[in-house]
Structure 1
Amino acid sequence: MHATPAAKDLLAGTFGERISVGHAEITVDENGKYQIETSQSRSVNKYLPQVQVRVCKTCNEGWMGTLEEEAKRILSPLILEGQENLDLDAEDLTLLSAWVTKTWMAYALTRSPLNNPFTEAEYHSLASEHRPPHSDIILLMHSVEPITQVAIGIFSSYYGTAPPTASDADNGGLFYFAVKNVALLMFRCPPKLEEFRSILLQSLTGSPNVQRAWPSPESCTFPSGFLSEEALATFLRDYVETQQAIALPYEGLSPDEAQRAFLNGDSPNSIRGRFPSAPATE
């Protein structure tokens, strides 16, 4: 990722530059109220932190190294050698999907357990099968948006029928990876919210310039064209706004009040600090 011309321009003069980043966790105070608590901030690299994850030598030099080499084989002609497009078959797309999922999984290990959407079983499954979780959707696209020059990010979310506790891991989210105009995006949510997922992804999956990389990948010539400059930025903005709209209400409410309000589907903005009037229903 550091080797592309655009990344070199972006990172020029920033070596060693650091910024302060805080981490938020959901806690319960002495009165039983759910609240967001920001942990102590820590200093991190400003751009593309050198993430180090402890993995065993067998994995690092084995299946993980193999995925890295396969990803380089597939993408290097486009991002490093100036080739205009790639002919990708289903196996190429599966390998790219497995590689980028490994990258997200490794990055997720640098976060608090509460904010890691991946389960232990999913880590073991990727290691043994070299396939992403089947329920996740991974999209491949080409765009000239600045955020497709070099980036990695995980925007995790909690979907549940009760307020989360410190032992609950996030079970959904948006995962983003980009290098030199090539972007891979993964979206996950519980099966019961599949309709919500379809609606949210409609603007991207309906574009002829977005290729489904997982599941059920199909051979394609990539890129078939550029995603419009606004499409990706609009999708990311809509995702954030949607998460805010359906956020679990907890501020100013006891756990029982929050649970009833959440199950009622009340708007977080309308219930903060008051009792819900309707009884809860599953």
Structure 2
Amino acid sequence: MLAQWMRSSVGPLPMERSAYGSGFGLLDDDRAYASIGESVRVSRNSLLHQVTRAVCAVCNNGWMSRLEAAAKPILMNLFDARRTNTSTMLSTDEATVLARWAVKTSWTSELSGLGDQNQEHAWMPADMRRRLCLEEVPPVTSWVWLAACEDLDLCQQFQAHVTYDRTTPPTLGETPRRILASCLILNGIALLVHSFDSRVPFPPPLTAPHGLRLWPSPSPVEFPPPSVSQMDLFLAVGRYTHWLPLHDRPFDPSATCTIGPGFQEQPHPPER
């Protein structure tokens, strides 16, 4: 997921990481919300060593390699700005490259987390992934923000899968829309990516001026903005009630929900 060059610029990290999953959704009869429970998966590698075999050699050695080479000096410049407490400017072209790199990293991280046997469950359709390969800019259905994290030593990722109905109450037979949301935190910089399966307006996940929008409509930006906490970034990925009000349904603590329409997978909250 992350290129090998980062291992000399981020970390070192312990060769073990834990992935936490939780969520909620509507019961099959739509009468109430229920929890899907929590899951914990321990992997014997670090975030810097996470890989996926879902990416073919042609892509890995072709457009992905070229994108990594273009993004590396931009990321190194941002790392240096956070470490030295100085500001730096990103041009429109640099903002576009960084946004495309962030989307690529978000999507390949999801594929890695699914494992080789579950690639058909990827939240973003295969045709969207092909367009990311063929086009020189991020997809128009993705929104990307750049932020500064207070913790300069943190290396962490949050990711959430969200489905939401177009109407309330849900329309029978209508396919819900999907969001893949992620936040990657490295050396005091944070990249927030919200990818939709169709183009929709989306409010900033961080209050102004804390998040710098890189995509869509890229423009020159000055980094860093005022910094935010790890919890702020977690909530930017895991909270949607300011934009998606829940249906008028109670929560049933005695029931268990299966993954389906209305399911939202929440990232595990950071320890305080």
TM-score (norm 1): 0.65
SS for the counterpart of 2:47 is coil
Asked if 1:267 corresponds to 2:266, the answer is: no
Please name the residue that 1:236 is paired with: 234
Distance 1:242-1:20 versus aligned 2 partners, 3 A rule: closer
Structure 1 residues 109-167: Cα deviation after superposition (integer angstroms, max 9, x where no partner)? 13255863311111010000032221322111123146x731223211011355999xx
* CA shift digits 1:9-54 (9 cap, x unpaired): xx2xx33x3657678898x99xxx9987679965413741632222
CA distance in 2, matches of 1:61, 1:270: 50
Residue deviations 1:62-81, cap 9 Å, x none? 11001111111212133259
Aligned mates of 2:219, 2:235 — CA distance in 1? 29
After TM superposition, the structure 1 = structure 2 runs for residues 245-256 of structure 1, keeping only pairs within 5 Å, are none
**Residue ranges of structure 2 left out of the alignment (5+ in a row):** 1-5, 256-272
Report the count of equivalent residues. 236
Corresponding residue for residue 160 of structure 1: 165
Quote the offset at 1:185 in angstroms: 0.5
- Contact kept, 8 Å, 2:148 with 2:226, in 1: the verdict is yes
Q: CA RMSD in A?
A: 4.3
1:2 corresponds to: 7
Comparing both chains, which one has the higher relative contact order based on Cα–Cα distances under 8 Å and sequence gaps of 6 or more? 2
Q: 2:141 matched to 1:143?
A: no
Give yes or no for contact 1:89–1:218 (8 Å, CA) kept in 2: yes
Structure 2 length normalisation: TM-score? 0.67
More strand by share: 2
- 1:176, distance to aligned residue in structure 2 (A): 0.7
Match of 2:262 in 1: none
What does residue range 78-227 of structure 1 map to in structure 2 within 5 Å?
A: 78-79=78-79, 84-110=86-112, 111=114, 112=118, 116-145=122-151, 149-160=154-165, 171-189=178-196, 194=201, 197-198=202-203, 201=204, 203-204=206-207, 206-207=208-209, 209-223=210-224, 225-227=225-227
**Partner SS for 2:181:** strand
Q: What amino acid is aligned across from residue 45 of structure 1 in structure 2?
A: R
Hey, which of these two has a bigger chunk of helix by percent?
1
Give the % identical residues: 21
Question: d(CA) in 1 for partners of 2:8 and 2:236?
Answer: 31
Is the Cα–Cα contact under 8 Å of residues 159 and 190 in structure 1 kept in the other structure? no
Give the aligned partner of residue 51 of structure 2: 52
Does the CA-based 8 Å contact 1:143-1:182 persist in structure 2? yes
Q: Distance in 1 between matches of 2:39 and 2:147?
A: 37
Q: Which SS does the other structure have where 1:132 is aligned?
A: coil
C-alpha contact (below 8 Å) 2:91/2:220 kept by paired residues = yes
Cα separation, partners in 2 of 1:272 and 1:193, compared to 1, 3 Å: farther
